[in-house]
Structure 1
């Protein structure tokens, strides 16, 4: 009879530990994924900014020497990520591929212009920077026109600012929720052993002696939960990097390692503090207060 009861108590204890580990792992995993979003939010925003094209249309009278000089100066400019020369013939072929019709059959000639598509670095994709670049290039007589989607640039920058703000707000809120959830799980685990704590205290054990095994066990559970969360984060990061290789998510190694270490330490620190506070609370209660 006693043996079956002991087995039941052991299964109940193991079940309690597993539920605590799962709770810690899930909370830390979600928090870590949010951290990955925060770390890579600028990289994602920069990726979309660098898809904006500034097209420089050239006069038909432009000399080859002038065009080559312009291409070299653009390639060496601080604001240029990539500069691609597009001849009027290539532009006509691209338009034919997009529309499915050869417009030159109706027009009788090619009205398009030779051009250079300039893909800018993300830091220069602002209305002010684009205006400054346009003004610096407009003094060249062989450039007919410079075009870019200014409305798209303004909308993109406004949205990036809004998204960045709300990501930080959500991150702070989620961190608080994570602390509260882990704290609640640890407190429930300690609550189930409140009578053991009080019994040990009644037979003369000191508070630090009573706290030590509870704190150590909770820290162990925190470490296990953190490791499970880190494995989940690593899997998510791996598949995201395969799915979106152009974002180069694994390139920022220092920040990723710092995030993983931070998540691990957070799991350990929260469980240690929560267990310390919870055991201290029950140590300070009177025996008749344990039933409430």
Structure 2
């Protein structure tokens, strides 16, 4: 009977440890994933904003030297991510591919102007800054028109601000919930040893002496959960990078290192605090209250 009871206790203890590690792993993984998203949120928002094109159309009087000079200006500017020159002939060909008809046949001329399709850097796709860029481009007398979707620019910035705000709110709420979940799991783990705690106390062991092995065990469980969370976060990081290689997430080792270090630190701190207060609670209980 004693052997069966010991096996049962051992299985229950292992099950308790497993649930603690699983809770820590899931919570830290989700927190780490949220942390990675927050850190890279600017890259993600910039990537979206950089897809908004700006088209610069030139007058018919603009000759090759003027177009080459403007090309050189774009190449040396700090607000351009990339650009492409679209000649009159290329514009006509693109129009034919879209419409399905060659309008040159019945017009007898090509009315389309030479133009540049520009993608600005994300930080410049804001109402005030993009107007400055537009004004700078229009200083060229040969520029006839600068076109971009002003409403889309405003919507992009408004939505990014809203999303950023709610991400911060959710991060705060989730951080509190995660601490409560880990604390609850560790309290259950300590609860299964409440009689051992009281027995040690009855034979004269000090509170700090009793707490120490539980705290170290809690920290070890936290480290195991942290290591599992780190492995999952690294895999997630490379998976997201394979989907969106332009963001360069996998090469941002500093941000990844900060998040992974934070995961380990949070795992240690939460388990230490939770185990400390869990053991303290049972140390202060009377014997009759243990049942």
TM range, smaller chain: over 0.9
SS in 2 for 1:168: helix
Structure-1 residue corresponding to 2:15: 15
Structure-1 residue corresponding to 2:58: 58
Structure-2 residue corresponding to 1:181: 181
Answering whether residue 48 of structure 2 is matched by residue 48 of structure 1, we say yes
Deviation at 1:102, TM superposition (A): 3.1
Deviation at 1:76, TM superposition (A): 0.6
State the distance in 1 between where 2:24 and 2:238 align. 22
Answering whether residue 201 of structure 2 is matched by residue 190 of structure 1, we say no
Cα pair distance change 1:99/1:177, threshold 3 Å: farther
Deviation at 1:268, TM superposition (A): 1.1
State the distance in 2 between where 1:101 and 1:12 align. 77
SS in 2 for 1:261: helix
Answering whether residue 63 of structure 2 is matched by residue 86 of structure 1, we say no
Cα pair distance change 1:101/1:188, threshold 3 Å: farther
Cα pair distance change 1:9/1:89, threshold 3 Å: same
126-135 or 187-196: bigger deviation: 126-135
Deviation at 1:252, TM superposition (A): 2.1
SS in 1 for 2:102: coil
Contact 2:16–2:188 under 8 Å retained in 1: no
Structure-2 residue corresponding to 1:154: 154
State the distance in 1 between where 2:244 and 2:106 align. 42
Deviation at 1:95, TM superposition (A): 2.4
Structure-2 residue corresponding to 1:114: 114
Write out aligned runs for 1:20-31 (5 A): 20-31=20-31
Deviation at 1:285, TM superposition (A): 1.3
Structure-2 residue corresponding to 1:68: 68
Write out aligned runs for 1:192-271 (5 A): 192-271=192-271
Contact 2:84–2:116 under 8 Å retained in 1: yes
State the distance in 2 between where 1:206 and 1:149 align. 71
Deviations along 1:219-260, one digit per CA (max 9) or x if unpaired, are: 111111111111111111111111111111123211110110
Deviations along 1:20-70, one digit per CA (max 9) or x if unpaired, are: 111110111111111111011110000011112211101111121111111
State the distance in 1 between where 2:171 and 2:281 align. 30
4+ residue segments displaced more than 4 Å = none
Deviation at 1:288, TM superposition (A): 1.4
TM-score (norm 2): 0.96
Structure-1 residue corresponding to 2:135: 135
Deviations along 1:179-222, one digit per CA (max 9) or x if unpaired, are: 11101100111112111111110111111111111111111111
Answering whether residue 115 of structure 2 is matched by residue 124 of structure 1, we say no
Structure-2 residue corresponding to 1:169: 169
State the distance in 2 between where 1:103 and 1:22 align. 66
TM-score (norm 1): 0.96
Contact 2:54–2:146 under 8 Å retained in 1: yes
Contact 2:13–2:192 under 8 Å retained in 1: no
Deviations along 1:142-183, one digit per CA (max 9) or x if unpaired, are: 111111111111111111111111111111111111111101
Deviation at 1:106, TM superposition (A): 4.6
State the distance in 1 between where 2:14 and 2:101 align. 71
State the distance in 2 between where 1:232 and 1:98 align. 46
